[in-house]
Structure 1
Amino acid sequence: MNIGIVGLGLIGGSLALDLRSLGYQVLGVSRRESTCQIAIERGIVNDASVNLSLLAAADVVFICTPLDLIIPTIEQLLPHLSPQAIVTDVGSVKSPIVTEAVKIWPNFIGGHPMAGTAESGIDAAQSNLFVGNPYVLTPVKNSTPEAVKIVGEIVRSLQAKFYLCRPEEHDKAVAWISHLPVMISASLIGACLSENEIDVLELAQNLASSGFRDTSRVGGGNPELGVLMATYNQEQLLRSLFSYRQTLDRLITYIQQGDWNSLADILQTTQQARPQFLSSKEL
């Protein structure tokens, strides 16, 4: 089977590495000629080009671009795709992408691997990035069972944890566990920067340790990615933010009133609930 990958960054490059090692013929497309050369020299792909015409031979194409480029990329791919080709993506928001993509190419299956690192670009590509991590496919009513089966088999071959759900279910879920944490983490950093006593701010920066590092990590990521997830998942992110604000207001009230028993109840509940979100993962 020939697999095309558009976008040879961390996710696209890592997909290519693993799929080629599994025996697939991998064809990569990047905007930069230098990226294509690196991908070929490192053995990440069998062939690479800056031209989408390379993917005319692809049976399945993974779109591994930023969210705002997924639909334009599919449109540009149309003249080059074989009629039976399956197109999928790796975007972190599904409903708006899937809705538009299936209008352009009915044989589209939305996808989202929940894996990554803080690094980016072709140099960050690594083997086994998806092993043990969730990989979600979001077919719709008109998706063909054969297309879902083929992409699902590819996902399973990566040794990822395979899930199927509706696009809107995916977006609600990731709003809670991925997009909301980015906004909370960014708010934490922003709140700390509001300290107007320079000596205190510098002391806080010097004393910051693992607790601050863990809770602020995603807020220190790529700003463009944060804006894109908010743009494309606005409704569900706002839904989760409003709920978070209500919970935070309740904590403020308990602390203002010295209601330590109610505060302890919440902290005990969250302590017990956390492992349910991290089952089989390192706590």
Structure 2
Amino acid sequence: MSGGLDGPVEVVGTGLIGTSIALACRRAGLEVILTDRDPDHVRTASGLGAGRARAAGDVPQLVVVAVPPDALGAAIAEQLDAAGPETVVTDVGSVKVAPLDAVAGHPALRRYVGSHPMAGTENSGPLTASAALFDGRPWAVTPGPDADPRATRLVEALVRLCGAVAVILPPGEHDRAVARTSHVPHLMASLVAGTLAAATPEHLALSGTGVRDVTRVAGGDPRLYSQIIGGNAPAVTALLQEVRDRLDLVLEAVATDDRAGLESLLAYGQAGTRAIPGKHGAAPQPMEALRIAVPDHPGELARLFADVGASGVNIEDVRIDHDPGRPVGLVELDVIATRTEELRSALESKGWVTHR
């Protein structure tokens, strides 16, 4: 077993993540074998160029298990049993302690190394897959205490091949990290989105980018996310208790008109947003949003971005909010604060109307 990934790679589970990994491997010229309980998914993924169906005698160098969380432990054990004596098995589940515990004591445990790409969308299925899904994204690699270092290196090679950046973490540390950065935020987004379900059309007409930003991830598959969050119950429960304590403080501050207490809680949240790493993992820089009114018809966005490019100011993020009463979109460009006025001046000289 070497650190280099030469293939074949077998992908078990041809949904969004599995098929995207398969496409990335094919992009790199590796042979890919596709397995799924749903033969239609295999046919679809094959038709996309992601690989071929398993054939008798196939011995993969690496097996990637990409099945729903509740099925991970059994699927990993099955692959350790069925694969060749040097075949490495990884999984791409969102929780890492539970599947490792499920295969504890397996005689081939040294060949298993968990992993978790921090990429995806609210969509599912092979038709939503992309070879570029992982480009530049962090990908946790979580070897257990019994993992063969050579197996870990092979999984790291998969991460690099897919264009991602490997982050080595113990399984328990990983689960605490994703509880904080993914699982609890998803629950919070769902709770906020749930308040909209019974809202009147008049109330919903006032929706803007803020509520869309806060609730976006709540659009994910409830069955899948209940498995993900349930599989990480200890870490999620501990954080939810912290959130509950702060929510009690918020309720008290609002009910008693305690402005100082409310401001303190809001400032604590603001500090949290500043703790999120900036682009490419660097320290975050002060950003400012510049809003530009854009007519909602073909070619206007292209013209705007061409004018931004000519200004020499880099766009750090972009959002679009559509005016419900007019055929106009408000494009919000995040740029480094020290260059906001430079961009404003350049765009206004081209006839664009800007707003703070």
* Percentage of matched positions with identical amino acids: 30
Match of 2:38 among 29, 32, 35: 32
State how 1:1-283 maps to structure 2 within 5 Å. 1-45=7-51, 47-49=52-54, 56-104=58-106, 105-106=108-109, 107-193=111-197, 201-280=200-279
Residue by residue over 1:68-90, the C-alpha shift from the partner in whole angstroms, topping out at 9 and shown as x without a partner, is 11122233334530011110001
Greater fraction helix: 1
CA–CA separation in structure 2 for the residues paired with 1:132 and 1:148: 20
Question: How far apart are the structure 2 equivalents of 1:159 and 1:254?
Answer: 47
Matched length: 274
- Unaligned 5+ runs, structure 1: none
Comparing 83-92 with 29-38, greater Cα deviation is found at: 29-38
C-alpha contact 2:122 2:219 (8 A) present in aligned 1: no
The alpha-carbon distance between structure 1 residues 270 and 55, as it changes in their structure 2 partners (threshold 3 A), is farther
- Give the alignment's TM-score, normalised by structure 2: 0.72
Residue 192 of structure 1 deviates from its aligned partner by 4.0
Q: Distance in 2 between matches of 1:236 and 1:158?
A: 29
Instruction: Using the TM superposition, give the Cα deviation of residue 208 of structure 1 relative to its aligned residue in structure 2, in angstroms.
Output: 2.0
**C-alpha distance in 1, partners of 2:39/2:251?**
54
Question: How far is 1:23 from its partner?
Answer: 1.9
> SS of the counterpart of 1:239?
helix
**1:102–1:149 CA distance, 2 compared to 1 (3 A):** farther
Change (3 A) 1:264 1:78: closer
CA contact (8 A) 2:73 2:100 kept: no
TM-aligned CA deviation for residue 167 of structure 1? 0.8
Cα RMSD (Å) of the superposition?
Answer: 2.0
1:226/1:42 CA distance change after superposition, 3 Å: closer
CA contact 2:92–2:115 (8 Å) conserved in 1? yes
The separation in 2 between residues aligned to 1:41 and 1:160, in whole angstroms, is 25
Partner of 2:284: none
For residues 163 and 55 of structure 1, the distance between their equivalents in structure 2, rounded to whole angstroms, comes to 34
Instruction: Give ranges in structure 2 of 5+ residues lacking alignment.
Output: 1-6, 281-315, 318-356
Query: Which of 1 and 2 has higher RCO (CA within 8 Å, sep 6+)?
Result: 1
Alpha carbons 1:13, 1:44 under 8 Å: kept: yes
